[in-house]
Amino acid sequence: MATITLMMPDVLEQELQARARSQGRDVASLALDLVEQGLRQEPMAEYAQELTHEQRLKELLEWVESHPRVDVVLDVSRESIYEGRGE
């Protein structure tokens, strides 16, 4: 097994340490698992290039349909924004 030294922003290191603590693990094993997961995932750029326009549109529409519709009418007119201010 090789040893690699990573230089990372403090905020990222703190997040990694906090996640390791919350899972009851040491930072090194968590970092190794995260690297393995990242390497096994298919890069999005390559995935997007493999899809046709129609396939991308179909996936987008499926994603949109998977979210509940919220019918809300908003009045963002100038009159409604300044209503009650005596202007």
Task: List, as one string, the DSSP characters of 39-85.
Answer: HHSPPHHHHHHHS-HHHHHHHHHHHHHTSPP--------HHHHSTTT
* pLDDT mean over 27-51: 80
Question: Regarding predicted confidence, which is higher, 11 or 50?
Answer: 11
**C-alpha–C-alpha distance, residues 28 and 1, integer Å:** 13
pLDDT at 17: 94
Q: How many CB atoms lie within 10 A of CB 20?
A: 16
**C-alpha–C-alpha distance, residues 52 and 75, integer Å:** 39
For the entire predicted model, the pTM comes to 0.47
Query: Is the pLDDT at 44 greater than 70, yes or no?
Result: no
pLDDT at 24: 95
